[in-house]
A and B are shown apart, each in its own frame.
Chain A
Amino acid sequence: MTKIKSLADLRKMKEEVQSKIRLRENSENAGQVVQIKVGMATCGIASGAKETMRFFVEQLEQEAIDAVVTQTGCMGYCYAEPTVEVTLPDKEPVVFGYVGKEKVHEIIDVYIKRGELIDGIIPVNFKTIDE
């Protein structure tokens, strides 16, 4: 691949991959894609949340999963950073703590792909199975 040095190079590269491009998600179908929010406050950054976000972007792209990855501020779980909130389509958001590289793989393979809950969830609501 030729080196990308100027905006013109970037534009040319974009045109070359035009056929594979998908547009940014718009808010109308936001409910149908997986939403990933990585906690990126001071505590998160200091614990490596940048790497966590990078792994998510890379892995989801590789596995061709339709997801929007973004960052958020302090969710209040500073002791368990890096934290990530995952919202599957039509499901409640779930917050995971201590999300390192291995955990990112686990979350994607088990929770996102199969919908099975895994260890390391931080309870954010207090609903019981009776409700």
Chain B
Amino acid sequence: MRTLSEHIMDIVQNSVRAGATLIEVIVEESKKNDLCELTITDNGCGMNDSQLHDAANPFFTSRKTRKVGLGLPLLKQNAETAEGELKIDSGIGEGTSITATFGLSHIDKPPMGDVWETLYQLWLSYPKIELAYRHKTDIGEFELGSGDLKEVLGDVSLQQKEIRNGIIELIKTNLNEIEATI
């Protein structure tokens, strides 16, 4: 995965498959502590102890279409290469929480990438799931969720060009304001 946006797209799919109705993606950067933390939390079905233990194993997957599950192992590898780590917390009926940490200035930390595109595509594909994004830097904080969009846009199709461009620009402008590292 070349960017953190791609990892986000990937891990959120896991939450969707777990039947989550609420998914939170939080990115926290601190230039002071040279730290970048990506947290994805969901209220899906969760994993039992055995699944949790094997979650970061590439040869473990809950899918039937193939025998490997690379999403979490790839994220773990990227985090550890950038002097960070991957923490997974989960319980049956309690949802799952993934936290990946990276050295913010580390050369091996993947760039953020086009997170606006990732979020747009997720909101477009899963209108029934409440997906919220929060980005925090030393300067400020930006938050946007499906709830906000539904309130402002109503039933309008997100595929409409002006709406699509509006959402993407909203995210870009705000990330720029808080000097998020892209």
| Chain A residues engaging chain B, CB cutoff 8 angstroms | 3-7, 9-11, 13-14, 17, 20-25, 40-43, 45-46, 50, 53-54, 57-58, 60-62, 67-71, 73-76, 78
Give Cα A5 to B142, complex, Å: 11
Q: Taking beta carbons and an 8 Å cutoff, which residues of B are in contact with A? A: 1, 5-6, 9-10, 13, 16-17, 63, 65-66, 69-71, 74, 114, 117-118, 121-122, 124-125, 127, 148, 151-153, 155-164, 166-167, 169-170, 173-174, 177
A22 and B157 within 8 A (CB): yes
B66 touches A78 (CB 8 A): yes
| Nearest CB in chain A to that of B156: its residue | A21
Q: Given contacts A4-B166, A57-B159, could you give 7 more A-B pairs where the C-beta distance is less than 8 Å?
A: A4-B173, A10-B166, A14-B163, A22-B160, A23-B155, A50-B117, A62-B161
How far, in Å, is B171 (CB) from chain A's closest CB?
9
The 3 closest A-B pairs by CB, nearest first: A76-B65, A70-B125, A71-B125
Is the pair A10, B152 in contact by a Cβ cutoff of 8 Å?
yes
Let me know if B9 and A23 touch, CB within 8 A.
no
Known: A45-B6, A50-B118. A20 touches B155 (CB 8 A): no
Inter-subunit contact A40/B159 (CB<8 Å): no
A24 CA to B160 CA, complexed, in Å:
10
Are the CB atoms of A42 and B74 closer together than 8 Å? yes
- Cα–Cα, bound, A44→B170 (Å): 27
Q: Taking the nearest CB of chain B, how far is it from the CB of A68, in angstroms?
A: 8
Within the complex, what minimum Cβ distance (angstroms) separates A51 from chain B? 9
Asked whether A60 and B159 contact (CB < 8 A) given A40-B9, A50-B6, the answer is yes
Which of the residues B1, B118, B158, B177 comes within 8 Å of A46, measured between beta carbons?
B1
Chain B residues within an 8 Å CB radius of A23 = 155-157
Cα distance, A61 to B160, chains bound together (Å):
7
Asked if B117 and A54 sit within 8 Å, CB to CB, the answer is yes
Contact A14 B166 (CB under 8 A): yes
- Chain B residue with minimal CB distance to A9? B170
Q: Is the CB of B71 within 8 A of A42?
A: yes
Cβ 8 A contact of A25, one of B71, B114, B151, B157: B157
Q: Are A13 and B65 in contact (CB under 8 A)?
A: no
Chain B residues whose CB sits within 8 angstroms of the CB of A68 once the complex forms: 159
Neighbouring B residues of A41 by C-beta, 8 Å: 10, 13
Chain B neighbourhood of A50, CB < 8 A:
5-6, 9, 114, 117-118, 121
- B70 & A74 in contact (Cβ 8 Å cutoff): no
**A36 shortest CB reach to chain B, Å:** 10
Chain B residues in 8 Å Cβ range of A45: 1, 6, 9-10
